[in-house]
Structure 1
């Protein structure tokens, strides 16, 4: 809506690109950041048709070409002086947060997946080909990564810890009490169930519907705060499984983010996903950026050592079976709800 600013612009980029330019003088963008919405991820070049459809062909000049795999920049003398570092030091820009969390948590082989249980939930699966998710609904995205022949299929949902924060505030409960509340309510939340779509924007993965809204079912005077909290946590886990199934996960699933630090909630996720969950408690995004930098320097990390610090959360058979039934009921309730949303 401000064409004069667009006409005067020199380049379009992200915050990290501005930092890289100040430190190294390079005008560039990481291929993961460039992947949406205009990049042909297979060729790592911009899709002129996509630009034309958006009416932006005249502004193609603003898009810097993505950095090739293994790119390292060099620290400028002035920036080096200000930082107290040697001039010419290698600088790696790194991928944005979603792929950084994948590689930081140890995702290495096609079919392996990662869940970011944060303010919003992101599910992603690594692939050797730039294939979109096989979904009935057009949703999600495919990202090129800083590595050759490695792509990420991603479902960036709107659900996550923000919905849980809303419920805890409504119930006047601190987040520190989450694990205790989950222990107080049995698997299945004493019959209370939920749909976790609490964003005013609706949902964008694994389906897109701005009319999607959350709800609780099975309430009675016997339901307590713990049941409501557990029902919502289970519903978020069910949605995560829905995303992972749509993405075609076939290998180990890692998890990171604030929600994964809850031992009881991680156990719910493990049960819903059908087995074990490898949790990374470190600053996983920073680990991912370092992972890319070391590979670019020619000293890639050892995959086994990299995953050695992960915490394994295992669900027992009975819990897995219970949540298999709960997931089927969740999908049925979701289908009925979507029919209702379609008439609004």
Structure 2
């Protein structure tokens, strides 16, 4: 069995995955997200490492109950991507990590958009830049805090920071390295993309991507902390979005996947490494553990976070969501929405830091259910926009908190015009375990049980086809006016 760990932005989870797909209980530990003036969002690496230790020890204690005859074969890590986690030669933090939600580098990105740098980088690497990606954050520190970069040995990401602490290896998974400077075909850094961003002198801070199937032995001191044997193989990646895709069973080009979480991440498996997004210079293309397979991703900033905001405003508990959605008809009684409720604007399937949400069609007859349904429908329209931009042509799976809602799932199926295959909550850990099992050369069914199928409602299909067209028209008008 594998101990799988998913290091989220604020919650770290771990559980055991057996070769036949059975799982042990999920264990969680929270870490602090520091939201500070100047659109700064930071995390403490030492605290995050501590959460991993806590949940791994708890998961290891379940091993005998899950299968007393099956040993723990590896530790498989996945977690949040983007951001900037600076470390010294020993892997210790050089200041707090800059989160993927950090907005301090927005002026840098504005310059790169205005002078064409962002578009040129996207054309070379397939990476759509946004304020919380490593490129703008590195450039910001080079301009405002160069001494921090001088003190650093590595400018990396969350997962590889933890791997260095546990194994001593200075490495990075190719999925993380893909954003934004990797040539995903050659799996080497695109030096011209670095130079375009004025970051050539800081190339030395980028760790070389690990080879496919790489495993790293657990250091004795880390093993003692984690309750695992020294030398146990550690698998490092892919990061959470691709891990969820592979944990949901992506295996053939054209298959799509959605994470309906705090953000809405849509992706498609492809044998074509060319950039997604076209003229929008949005999205990302990720290297994967598989030869000639790439993930094209549209990681929209919207998702359940916007719904959480609205429910809080309306004093509605999340447990009431399905009942509320059922009270409002298709089209939410004439209320429509644009779901761009992030202070950072939007990054997929278009990039605009000025993007903001709106509600239209209100009247004295509008109720809470209509407002909630309008927002949920708008998120589904955004998902279709992302998936169509990516060129999804086969089945679509889904996971995340939003996928637990049966009524919202039916909205997604109706808007997408296809059945939706919903996986359990362990997909990120399952994806990391799948990669680890394969690296070990072990045959395993990491995906677990068959997904739950949400059928597209025939009556909804025609209605949502027109609703989607209206959404695109409203979006075009809004973009002209932001």
- Kindly indicate whether the alpha-carbon contact (under 8 Å) linking 1:100 and 1:285 is maintained by their aligned counterparts in 2: yes
Equivalent of 2:418 in 268, 275, 286: 275
Match of 1:59 in 2: 202
RMSD: 1.5
Match of 1:330 in 2: 471
Q: Secondary structure at the match of 1:318?
A: helix
1:270/1:58 CA distance change after superposition, 3 Å: same
Distance 2:409 2:175 in 1: 28
1:236-315 map, 5 Å: 236-302=379-445, 306=447, 308-315=449-456
The C-alpha deviation readout for 1:99-119, integer Å capped at 9, x for no partner, is 011111111111111111111
* Corresponding position: 1:321 with 2:467: no
The C-alpha deviation readout for 1:72-119, integer Å capped at 9, x for no partner, is 111223333333322222111121111011111111111111111111
The C-alpha deviation readout for 1:155-193, integer Å capped at 9, x for no partner, is 111111111111111111111110000000011111111
Match of 1:117 in 2: 260
Give the number of the structure whose residues are more often strand, by fraction: 2
* Corresponding position: 1:169 with 2:169: no
1:1-344 map, 5 Å: 1-302=144-445, 306=447, 308-341=449-482
Distance 1:144 1:268 in 2: 32
Tell which deviates more after alignment, 15-24 or 240-249: 15-24
Gaps of 5+ in 2: 1-143
Which protein, 1 or 2, shows the higher relative CO under an 8 Å CA cutoff with sep ≥ 6? Answer: 1
Gaps of 5+ in 1: none
Q: CA deviation at 1:61?
A: 1.6
Q: Secondary structure at the match of 1:12?
A: strand
Distance 1:337 1:56 in 2: 35
Distance 2:297 2:199 in 1: 25
Q: Secondary structure at the match of 1:92?
A: strand
Q: CA deviation at 1:18?
A: 2.4
Distance 1:339 1:5 in 2: 39
TM-score by length of 1: 0.94
Q: Secondary structure at the match of 1:21?
A: helix
